[in-house]
Structure 1
Amino acid sequence: MSMQNFDVRDFRRALSQFPTGVTVITTNDQQGQPIGVTASSFNSVSVEPPLILWSIDKGAHSLAAFENSEHFAVNVLSRDQVDLSNRFASRGEDKFKDVLYGKGVGDSPLLNDYSAQFECKTWAVYEGGDHLILVGEVLDYRYNDSNLPLVFARGSYSVSSQHPSTVKYDAGDESGEFISDYLLYMLRESYNRFSSDLYPKLQAHGGVNPEEWRILAMLRDHGAMKTDDLAPLVMQPAVALIQTAEWMQDRGLVQLVDCSLSLLPAGISLADKLLDLAKQHEAEVLSALSDDQSRQLKNGLRAIMESRP
């Protein structure tokens, strides 16, 4: 493919199919002020010596601080730190305000909560197109097995969990309560079984992925919304949401003006079509229950969710 015909948005869309973890990389600027950025480009390089790498956009406000710093820290975020990821991915605010942190090697900020942390000495800085690649030698590290890591894929946040093919669930197995009669296993198994049927239908009938479907559905319910308000509802950081919106705008589905997103007529039509499909799918899922049982199930799940906001 020649660069003349190279679609940058489509390339980003292809890259987003590869899931990554989410990190906040921290250091100090020349005035000793804490600096932090959200990055999903973190990766391991070597065990002997212990080396890791990550990359930073050359247009980043904090580029000089990281390029010239002798030390930095990698804070691998947990599933409960979506707000923190969004904060450090944004611009124009005091990112460390009200954030609990200490200081590590070279005084690099260390977040109090994490899935893992790596304190690094800058090993090398390489040119990488529109990014700089920073390699760090790990001087100290720690991890927290009780925190599930935060995952990022296709522009949306997710969490790591066992693949359904590795978990055997048999509703008729009465040999033990933990698998056959444990609520969390049953909820997850139900979701895995039936979502795997729905999402291919959305793609086949509407040409949208789950992330785009959530945007269509939310805008159909609420009307035009600011991207900052919509982002948490569709589980995307604002930057990724705007990229998704631009892709959908190219298809004539939405209009993005001054960080406000609204459906165009084609988007309304597609949202209604896919909502009908989703309702049909839901009816198939609930066909094993009576109407009263279906209502009781939804009301019960709603009560559980409302008990822990």
Structure 2
Amino acid sequence: MSEAGFDSATFRRVLGHYPTGVCVITAVEEGGAPLGMVVGSFTSVSLDPPLVAFFPAKSSSTWPRIEKLGRFCVNILAADQLSLCRQIASPGPDKFRDIAHRASANGSPILDNVVAWIDCTLDAVHEAGDHHIAIGRVAALEVDRAERPLLFFQGSYGEFALLD
């Protein structure tokens, strides 16, 4: 039970009713090895200067390596990229096996066929409970294909359906 009077399962269940987009944060280590981590916690922060943020878990083994590099690319996944999402989210050295990508201006992987990408330099990192708040300064961004994004909702993946 938390100090607020509810347990983490209740917190997760209630917040699971809010859908989030699914992104892959990418970077390239010295020596050329690509890094990738899946996040469902990405948001815009500021227009002037252009800033975005995501929230890596303190338990992540990939985040400290990306943080050290000081640059990354946010890849917004399309609804048809669930298998790519699962591959990047899996542990092990083969995360990028057979995943086509190109280098951004700062050298981070832009995954092929994503909805959009945002190339960033790390602006600030703040501690927040069991996560960090990673703020990126946007250097470049583009929509690659105007497709529906991959969403995460109530513990499952899905896609957005237009109502009008």
**Shorter-chain TM-score: which interval?**
over 0.9
Counterpart in the other structure of 1:35: 35
Greater relative contact order structure (CA < 8 Å, 6+ sep): 2
Deviation digits for residues 64-103 of structure 1 (CA, Å, limit 9, x no counterpart) = 1122122100000001100011111121241001110011
Work out the CA distance in 1 between the residues paired with 2:100 and 2:145.
20
Relative to structure 1, the CA distance from residue 49 to residue 2 in structure 2 (aligned partners, 3 Å threshold; closer, same or farther) is same
* DSSP 3-state at the match of 2:11: helix
Compute the TM-score of the two structures, normalised by the length of structure 1: 0.50
Counterparts of 1:7-86 in structure 2, within 5 Å, are: 7-86=7-86
How large is the Cα RMSD of the aligned pairs?
Answer: 1.7
The percent identity for this pair of structures is: 38
The one-letter amino acid of 1:80's match is D
Instruction: Name the structure with the higher helix share.
Output: 1
Work out the CA distance in 2 between the residues paired with 1:10 and 1:125.
28
Q: Which has the larger radius of gyration?
A: 1
* DSSP 3-state at the match of 2:152: strand
Offset, 1:6: 3.2
Deviation digits for residues 161-190 of structure 1 (CA, Å, limit 9, x no counterpart) = 213xx4xxxxxxxxxxxxxxxxxxxxxxxx
Work out the CA distance in 2 between the residues paired with 1:110 and 1:11.
34
* DSSP 3-state at the match of 1:56: coil
Gaps of 5+ in 2: none
- Is the Cα contact below 8 Å between 1:55 and 1:131 reproduced in 2? yes
Instruction: Name the structure with the higher strand share.
Output: 2
- Is the Cα contact below 8 Å between 1:105 and 1:120 reproduced in 2? no
Work out the CA distance in 2 between the residues paired with 1:4 and 1:54.
25
Gaps of 5+ in 1: 167-309
The one-letter amino acid of 2:56's match is I
Counterpart in the other structure of 1:92: 92
- Is the Cα contact below 8 Å between 1:28 and 1:65 reproduced in 2? no
Deviation digits for residues 235-261 of structure 1 (CA, Å, limit 9, x no counterpart) = xxxxxxxxxxxxxxxxxxxxxxxxxxx
The one-letter amino acid of 1:118's match is I
Offset, 1:130: 0.9
Offset, 1:29: 2.8
Compute the TM-score of the two structures, normalised by the length of structure 2: 0.92
Counterpart in the other structure of 2:139: 139
Offset, 1:5: 4.5
The one-letter amino acid of 1:36's match is G
Work out the CA distance in 2 between the residues paired with 1:85 and 1:50.
26
Could you list the structure 1 runs, at least 4 aligned residues long, displaced by more than 3 angstroms after superposition.
none
Work out the CA distance in 2 between the residues paired with 1:89 and 1:9.
22
